[in-house]
Amino acid sequence: MKIQEQIEKLYYQTEYSDADREIFTRFIQQLNEGKIRSAEKIAETWQTNSWVKQGIIVGFKMGKIVEMASNSALPYLDKDTYPARKFSLEDKIRLVPGGSSVRNGAYIAPSVVMMPPMYVNVGAFVDEGSMIDSHALVGSCAQIGKRVHLSAAAQIGGVIEPIGANPVIIEDDVFIGGNCGVYEGVIIKRKAILAAGTIITAGVPVYDAVNNCYIRKTAETPLTIPENAVVVPGSRPLKSNPEISIYCPVIIKYRDSKTEASVVLEDALR
């Protein structure tokens, strides 16, 4: 029986045997190795793998709260199925000391840099060459592409339930400024830039000042920031009272040579 079929069966159980735990162990190892993921791009469309989310929930259902090893004075108590990941030189990453943590079931590709303190939750996928800066969060099942820069205090929201809900997806070569937040299944297409302090959620439309239109989530598609878009915090008048303005992210331009120069990352620092 394939791992997917085994997980789908375990999802509906309420009691678990040692053999069931062995199935979960194989599942979580494949998540750690990036062999399976909670969402993947097929052609040009991102699809959620609901069975992977089911497997993550199985881990919470079968797990028992235990005291785990910790170097800090505070007790570390969590489900025994989700300890912090341990890395070695063979993983070919940089994990700078200072309080960071990656939970079991998260994939961290070679050449990823992680600055303290930061956190990557279960089900997340962080691809090659990306950087997670201090106080940044990669939430559960979030998908981070290649050469993405998550600046200090950037928050990439997570989602496990509902099972079919899309995770946040950040495609290749995206630059996320400091104190940004991306939530509720939003997709940021490749080479987009979010200026510091920009918040993107599914329920708030984004105004494209270049094309004079609003970008919104629909029943069929998540809110999607286009390729090369440069997004800044903005506002728009409230329809019921134009004297009051509410928050609205604004695409002020699309990436050009000047923009490229402003987001060049120093390879030597990596």
Structure tokens at 144: 């981070």
CATH topology of domain 81-259: UDP N-Acetylglucosamine Acyltransferase; domain 1 (2.160.10)
pLDDT bucket at 261, cuts 50 / 70 / 90: low
The Cα 198–Cα 176 span in angstroms is 9
Using the predicted structure, report yes or no on whether residue 268 has a pLDDT greater than 60: no
Gyration radius from the chain CA atoms: 20
- Say what the pLDDT of residue 259 is: 66
- Say what the pLDDT of residue 264 is: 62
pLDDT in tens, 53-105: 999 999 999 999 999 876 666 778 999 999 999 999 999 999 999 989 999 99
Q: Specify the residue for token string 């700078």.
A: 96
| Domain layout of the chain by residue ranges | 81-259
**Cβ–Cβ under 8 Å, residues 184 and 224:** no
**Alpha-carbon dihedral angle through residues 198, 202, 204, 208, given to the nearest 10 degrees:** 70
In 3D space, the residue among 197, 185, 191, 183 whose CA is nearest the CA of residue 230 turns out to be 191
In 3D space, the residue among 38, 30, 16 whose CA is nearest the CA of residue 158 turns out to be 38
pLDDT in tens, 181-205: 999 999 999 999 999 999 999 999 9
pLDDT in tens, 113-148: 999 999 999 999 999 999 999 999 999 999 999 999
The Cα 204–Cα 231 span in angstroms is 13
Using the predicted structure, report yes or no on whether residue 249 has a pLDDT greater than 80: yes
**Residue 95: how many other CB atoms lie within 10 Å:** 19
The Cα 212–Cα 210 span in angstroms is 6
Q: Residue 69: CB partners within 8 Å, gap ≥ 6? A: 76
Pairing verdict, β 229-232 and 206-208: unpaired
The Cα 53–Cα 55 span in angstroms is 5
